[in-house]
Structure 1
Amino acid sequence: MAKPGRKIMVIGHKNPDTDSISAAIAYAYLKNVTLNTDEYEARRAGKINEETKYVLDRFHVAAPSYISDVGTQVSDIDIRFTQGIDQNMSLKKAWEIMKRDDVVTLPVTDENQYLQGLIITGDIAMSYMDVYDKGIISEACTPYRNIVETLDGQMLVGDESKCFDKGNVLVGAGNPEAMEEFIHEHDMIILGNRYESQICALEKKVSCMIVCANYKVASTIKKLAEEKGCAIISTPYDTYTTARLINQSMPVRHFMRKENLITFEEDSYVEEVLEVMSKERHRDFPILDGVGKYIGMISRRNLLQSKKKQVILVDHNEKSQAVDGIDSSEILEIIDHHRLGSLETMSPVFFRNQPLGSSSTIVYLMFKEKHIEVPQEIAGILCSAIISDTLMYRSPTCTQVDQVCAQELAAIAKVDVEELAINMFKAGSSFDSKTVEEIFYQDFKTFTVSGIEFGVGQISSMSEETLLSVKEQLLSYMPTALKERGLDMVYMMMTNILEESTGLLSYGKDAAEVVEKAYQVKEQDGVYKLEGVISRKKQLIPSFLEAMQE
């Protein structure tokens, strides 16, 4: 059963690892079972790596849906639905709909709701104010139905579904002799009850006669009109009023705007929409769905009432690591185990940050605090996340709390920690089917200190041979990564889990100096050997920050 509130996304950082994905899934589950208002949904901001894929597959958990940007979109706005009108509708009826619905723009759609054009009040006003020649009604191919409706009339002879598509519209005010001079075949003539004038019009083979003031039409005239294929319309209006109103019977397709229409889609971002709107004088703009069908209208006023996407961030609090558009969203909570970063919020948020080895440890503690039973599959991915982030308890970030939580989760999930760890790391360190780009970015984070922006990636394996097999590829790719991400320096940690050491690659101005200053080591064959260093968060980054700030 759908919840009445809004959808709130629980999302980890870009280039998500097992901890980021597992924490998002588990925390969304926890929120959903403890709250009955909003709906919480786990999402991901990047591609899932092989280790995480193995974990999700093993415990039969679906991967979160991908989202590239959490900026406010048109779909976050209350789109006003204005019913589309048929292109053959009369200007008069379109104007009546505008007055009734208090709108200035009507979409013109076909039977499948595809947008054909737009008609606005200015277009209708123009049709009233401009001086048109007497052939405009036929030029617009005006349906007789429109003429009958506009004149509040009645079709006495003829077919309403046909159109007046030849001839001029004239007023037969003179005597029959005078009328013969200006009436031609196919014309439409507005006249009164003079029998002689009606006969004259029929003899001249007009297409339609409009008889004013509800004057009775003789049966002989009707019969003759049928024989000659002439339509007869009776209207209660006098000749002057009929002549004034008849232009309003023209179909909107003759006046609607159908070229270079400015439309937006549901997934268009509000910032882009505002930029386009600022350059246009239109008041209302059509919204189309993913297949191009019309679904509603928005105006500048609607944009002012847009609702920001609501998000909960897990496993990060750095703006550079957050999903695109984070500044345009509303951050509700942050669950993390890293140093305080650069994210700012407009209002106070729930922020839980603990010095533990994994964000998933924090999430599991919250399950326990709320006395919520952890499902077996959730226990499995949480346990895997703790193993991954602590490198099976070898990382200096690992605490006694992490180990206890992992063991409890392993019991719930009915798995052996060592067996699970070996298979996870094996899956994660299989580089054969990956491009160098995929390897480089599978666990990559960026940082800023004293105006310097740098990125650090990390790959892990239980085999030194596996790590060295991709060294040259990674070194060759580093200049590309530096340029693509607009960074000052890039580093890659090649971590050997069993030996508890890291081979560090570096690139960029002053990148080597930072490493040498932080660790007092020298490069050998393009690699800095860092013994005992396996944690990016607790060992590498603090040392780099200290070296950069000296």
Structure 2
Amino acid sequence: MGKTNNKIYIIGHKNPDTDSICSAIAYTALKNKISSKEYCARRAGQINEETQYVLKRFGMEAPPYMSDVGTQIRDIEIRETQGVRNSISLKKAWQLMKDDNVVTLPITDKENHLEGLITIGDIATSYMDVFDSKILSAARTQYMNILETLEGTMVVGNEHAYFVNGKVLIAAANPDLMESYIEEDDLVILGNRYESQLCAIEMNAGCIIVCEGATISMTIKKLAEERGCVVISTPHDTYTVARLINQSMPIKYFMRKDNLIIFKTDDFTEVAKEIMAKKRHRDFPIINKHGGYVGMISRRNLLNMTRKQLILVDHNEVSQAVDQIQEAEILEIIDHHRLGSLETISPVFFRNEPLGCTATIIYKMYQEANIQIDPNIAGLLCAAIISDTLMYRSPTCTSVDKAAAQELALIAGINVEEFSHEMFNAGSNLKNKSPEEIFYQDFKKFNVNDITFGVGQINSMNSNELEDIKSKLIPYMDKAYKEHGLDMLFFMLTNIIEESTEVLCQGRDAKQIVENAFDVKSESNSYILKNVVSRKKQLIPAFMGAMQQ
């Protein structure tokens, strides 16, 4: 069974850690093996040094970046109305609109770039409101268009030439009177009278149109050639020709080309809705990122738009989710954190277990589906567990996590002790990183009782390195606090070997929260928390308890 066209994106939280990225990749691989749908891993932020090392170690590509999951123009049904050339006649444009049951035609050039639009209203205006007898020449109408519109035959002249001078008139009078109003280069509509045809040519008419399929003599043809007069024969009568002739004008003369409202496939539908509400157009053209015309949409298309479909891993907080998460359709949530603030439109598959790592849950799902885990995927899952449990030192680590990591290490062919040191060293090698890059490497936001606070964390096996990081972060904390507009900011400098954390804090009441939560005192904005290494299981619950009091 083939894949469907609708992709389902599996994505972790902002400022992703190793668990977030590796779980997204591994769960994507599992879903693509057991489902006919197409699943794609994505990331909601920049990948840190530790995760980069893990991906490179097991030969895996980083998931593509997805900054926003709001519905885009590309997600709705775009009507693929074909672009037309600006040289086609009004009559042909009208016929195309009738055939395609549309009211707007896009006008494109040879490179498929949009030149303008023409609507039924524009054609009606050209037919009802234009009384200028010289408009046919002003529009530079090609004889080919006139032939097509009048179902005519070119008797003398070049069908690719243009009628560019003179007016249009009907020769209903006798030849003596015709001489007083026919001017040079005029287009004259007449019948089968030889004298009238001869008079028009002698008056240097640019074109004569002979109606009702009347016979045109050799003398008239010869004289027309000598005088450079175009001769067209049409089966229609004079009235019909007079009524149709203006419909032969090229649409470029009437098309709208200035101040067009154009949307790109990458534009978000929320923005499009606002613009459409202010403009009463029926249709709006769509172009791609290269400027090529794609199709048309109307307000009706927005009613049937398809939301992006997501599976969230390693989080269930709105503040940690990719932007515009409320615009997407969440299908599943696989997580190991506390229940957060995320709401869904409809019921979802929600698997949340009190384990040290989301990757452990993914490992269990492979087992439950009886799917063999590839060595590189096993390596990713094992790395995620080691990272999240700080090599089993975190209080979040369970016997299930440790057993899963050991089994995955066998499949991946790695020594946990050696690999852990390599991975943590890679992750804490931040010498060339800016304070901003360090701060956001693993940063999450939380909400409690209308209090919003952020917590970042860096893990290292080297106390000297943590001191260097601290010296960079302390000056940056105030700037980050002001930029975010949060009530409080905290940063955890976690020493994996000593199993302790130094917490830096910023913001009103931040010191009081730390002191109340852990019964500690400090003269500075820094606190040493012994036996505290887990943000999820130790720091956040303690902070929330203190805030609720």
Aligned partner of 1:28 in structure 2 is 28
How far off is 1:2 after superposition?
5.2
- Looking at structure 2, the residues matched to 92 and 273 of structure 1 have their Cα atoms a distance apart, in angstroms, of 32
Shift of 1:485: 2.5
The 3 A distance-change label for structure 1 pair 203 and 5 is closer
* In structure 1, C-alpha distance between the alignment counterparts of 2:463 and 2:131, rounded to whole Å: 86
- 1:163 offset after TM fit, Å? 0.8
User: Which amino acid is 1:97 matched to?
Assistant: L
Alignment-derived partner of residue 343 in structure 2: 344
- Structure 2 counterparts to residues 289-308 of structure 1, below 5 A: 289-308=288-307
Matches within 5 A, 1:161-240: 161-240=160-239
1:17 counterpart = 2:17:
yes
Separation in 2, partners of 1:538, 1:361:
16
Instruction: Give the aligned residue type for 2:156.
Output: V
Q: Distance in 2 between matches of 1:352 and 1:5?
A: 26
Q: Which residue of 1 aligns with 2:442?
A: 443
Matched residue, 2:527: 528
Instruction: Write out per-residue CA displacement over residues 479-527 of structure 1, whole angstroms, 9 at most, x where no aligned residue.
Output: 2222332311111101111111111111111111111111122235541
Q: What is residue 68 of structure 2 aligned with on the other side?
A: 69
CA distance in structure 1 between the partners assigned to 2:344 and 2:411 by the alignment: 37
Q: Which amino acid aligns with 1:433?
A: N
Counterpart CA distance in 1 for 2:522 and 2:55 is: 38
After TM superposition, the structure 1 stretch with the greater mean CA deviation from structure 2, 166-175 or 326-335, is 166-175
Runs (5+) with no aligned partner, structure 1: none
Q: Please give the root-mean-square deviation of Cα atoms over the aligned residues, in Å.
A: 1.1
Q: Distance in 2 between matches of 1:532 and 1:429?
A: 20
Q: Write the distance in 1 (CA, Å) between the matches of 2:266 and 2:2.
A: 22
| Alignment TM-score, normalising by the size of structure 2 | 0.98
- Paired with 1:49 and 1:520, the residues of 2 have a C-alpha distance of 33
Report 1:261-340 matches (<5 A): 261-340=260-339
Per the TM alignment, residue 266 of structure 1 is displaced from its structure 2 partner at its CA by 1.0
Distance 2:213 2:479 in 1: 83
CA shift, 1:470, in A, is: 2.2
Distance 1:538 1:263 in 2: 50
- What is the SS of the residue equivalent to 1:215? coil
Q: Within 1, Cα distance between the matches of 2:169 and 2:221?
A: 20
**TM-score normalised according to structure 1 size:** 0.98
Q: Distance in 2 between matches of 1:466 and 1:537?
A: 23
- The residue type paired with residue 369 of structure 1 is E
Contact in 1 for aligned 2:188/2:200 (Cα 8 Å): yes
After TM superposition, the structure 1 = structure 2 runs for residues 20-99 of structure 1, keeping only pairs within 5 Å, are: 20-36=20-36, 38-99=37-98
Q: Give secondary structure in 1 for the equivalent of 2:278.
A: coil
SS at match of 1:47: coil
Q: Distance in 2 between matches of 1:95 and 1:486?
A: 57
CA displacement at 1:335 relative to structure 2? 0.3
Instruction: Write out the 4+ residue segments of structure 1 that deviate beyond 3 Å after TM superposition.
Output: none
Deviation of 1:5 after TM superposition, in Å, equals 5.2
Per-residue deviation, 1:79:
1.0
Q: What does the per-residue CA deviation read over 1:9-57, in whole Å, with 9 as the maximum and x for residues that have no partner? A: 0100000000000000000111111112x11111100000010000000
Which amino acid in structure 2 is aligned with residue 293 of structure 1?
A: G
Partner residue of 1:466? Answer: 465
The offset of 1:195, in angstroms, is: 1.4
**Aligned 8 A contact 2:506 2:525 in 1:** no
Tell me how far apart the structure 2 counterparts of residues 308 and 205 of structure 1 sit (CA, whole Å): 66
Q: Tell me, which stretches of 5 or more residues in structure 2 are unaligned? A: none
Cα distance in 2 for partners of 1:73, 1:222 equals: 61
Deviation digits for residues 434-463 of structure 1 (CA, Å, limit 9, x no counterpart):
111111001000000000000000011111
Compute the displacement of 1:187 (Å).
Answer: 1.1
**Which deviates further from its counterpart, 482-491 or 126-135?**
482-491
Residue 391 of structure 1 aligns with an amino acid whose one-letter code is: L
Match of 2:133 in 1: 134
Deviates more, 1:176-185 or 1:287-296: 176-185
SS of structure 2 residue aligned to 1:156 = strand
Query: Do the aligned partners of 2:511 and 2:525 also contact (CA within 8 Å) in 1?
Result: no
1:237-279 C-alpha deviation (Å, 9 max, x unpaired): 2212211111111000000000111111111111111111101
Q: Deviations over 1:200-259 (max 9, x none)?
A: 211121111011111111111011111111111111222122111111110000000001
**In the alignment, what sits opposite 2:388?**
389
SS at match of 1:409: helix
- 3-state SS of the aligned residue for 1:383? helix
Deviations 1:376-419 (A, max 9, x none): 00000100000000000110000111111000000000001011
* Residue identity (%): 61
One-letter identity of the residue aligned with 1:74: I
